[in-house]
Structure 1
Amino acid sequence: MATDPLSISSKDRNTLLVVTTLIVAVTFQAALNPPGGVWQDDKYDPEENCTVDPRSSANNCTVIARAGTSVLHSRAKIRYDTFIFVNTLAFSAATSTIFFLLLKSPFRTETLISIYCMNFAYVASVGAVQPQTPKTWAMLSGALSLPYIFRLPSIIKRSKEVQVAREQDVPQALPAVQRGAC
């Protein structure tokens, strides 16, 4: 299989689209339902003698974990951060592959909009199940952009090759001495 998305066969392109679509679906689902699940109720510090009034959001308790946040994040932050980083990297690599496979499609604008919206929805879902910190956002931004950054050198090389090919196809003007000879 060729590495240039413009020179692969239709069969290979379709196979890659199916595989990357499955990867996008699985990684998105894993972000919504992280390993260990999410807390179903707020978890309070058991050492405190406090009361929680379910009818009111006001209480004097220290919250250890909020309902809807990742259980794994509160119990093993490094493992959870590793999981989210590699899951996000796989998600982004799959969405960027879909984009590059459909680069010459007449629907490239719609594809790009869909991919960016999917990336934002992914980040929003991850942000919903873990505490939002600058480290979290930096990690997600890095993982989402890495596949595009890795592809950048090949895009630059390809655009230079296209530019050289165009320059070779353009007829050159005759030198001034030869123009007057006719």
Structure 2
Amino acid sequence: MATDQPTVPDNPAKGFNEFFRFKLGRDPPRDARNTLLVVTTLIVAVTFQAAINPPGGVWQDDTYSPATCTAVTSDNNCSIIRHAGTSVLHYRDKAAYDIFVFVNTLAFSASTNTILYLLLDSPFQTEVLLSIYSINFAYGASVAAVHHPKTINWWLISVAYALPYFSRVFSNIIKRYK
């Protein structure tokens, strides 16, 4: 009895990756699409969670300057230097936090972009588009919420959001003119 499925290699070190790689004649595109949807949905969930709870956590209470100030005083010389709910990593290493936000936003945007393309022309396309755009705005709001109020790099977040979309458009233009 002949099957289209290749046998598992005897030596897993050789040919194991080739065995699990997608093959158009062997594997139905539906399976690849479903796998991509599961993986990209997982990436969206993980990156959204990382935006809400960044590495190092968030400050639990406000810190005032000078140290003698408290939240209950009405002294005009007091100012908040660390806001409750903002990223600890941002205060410790702003460059590392900016890199984290850029890479996390890029992964989030690429995943939502992939979901969008995989679900185009589906019966619930309008609902999918509404969901994708809503989760993108919620992601941006959550990044803004844990970022220090006066130092957010909107250009950095905008580039990370737009890069996957422009990459897709650019690759489609190149394919068209080849």
Give the TM-score, by structure 2 length: 0.76
Distance in 2 (alpha carbons) for counterparts of 1:135 and 1:43: 19
Farther off after superposition, 104-113 or 126-135: 126-135
Q: Compare 102-111 and 76-85 and name the one that shifted more.
A: 102-111
Which residue of 62, 67, 74 maps to 1:42?
62
Q: Which residue in 2 is equivalent to 1:19?
A: 39
1:2-151 superposed matches below 5 A: 9-45=29-65, 48=66, 50-54=68-72, 58-59=74-75, 60-133=77-150, 136-151=153-168
Moved more, 24-33 or 98-107: 98-107
Give the unaligned 5+ runs of structure 1: 3-7, 162-182
Moved more, 145-154 or 131-140: 131-140
Look up the SS of the partner of 2:153 in the other structure: helix
1:75-94 C-alpha deviation (Å, 9 max, x unpaired):
11000000010000000000
Q: Distance in 2 between matches of 1:134 and 1:65?
A: 12
Which piece of structure 1 moves more, 75-84 or 108-117? 108-117
RMSD of aligned Cα (Å): 2.2
Change (3 A) 1:53 1:140: closer
- Partners in 2 of 1:70 and 1:88 — Cα distance? 16
Alpha-carbon spacing, 1:11–1:24, altered in 2? closer, same or farther (3 Å)? same
Question: Quick one: distance in 2 between partners of 1:49 and 1:132?
Answer: 21
* Greater fraction of residues in helix: 1
Q: Quote the offset at 1:43 in angstroms.
A: 1.4
Structure 2 unmatched runs, 5+: 1-21
Amino acid at match of 1:126: V
Q: 2:169 aligns with which of 134, 152, 157?
A: 152
Cα distance in 2, alignment partners of residues 106 and 155 from structure 1: 25
SS of residue in 1 equivalent to 2:57: coil
The answer to whether the 8 A contact 2:54-2:87 is kept is yes
Cα 1:52–1:142 change in 2 (3 A) is same
Where do 4+ consecutive residues of structure 1 move more than 3 Å? 132-135, 154-158
DSSP-derived class of the 2:122 partner: coil
Q: Is the 8 A contact 2:60 2:84 kept in 1?
A: yes
Percent identity (aligned): 58
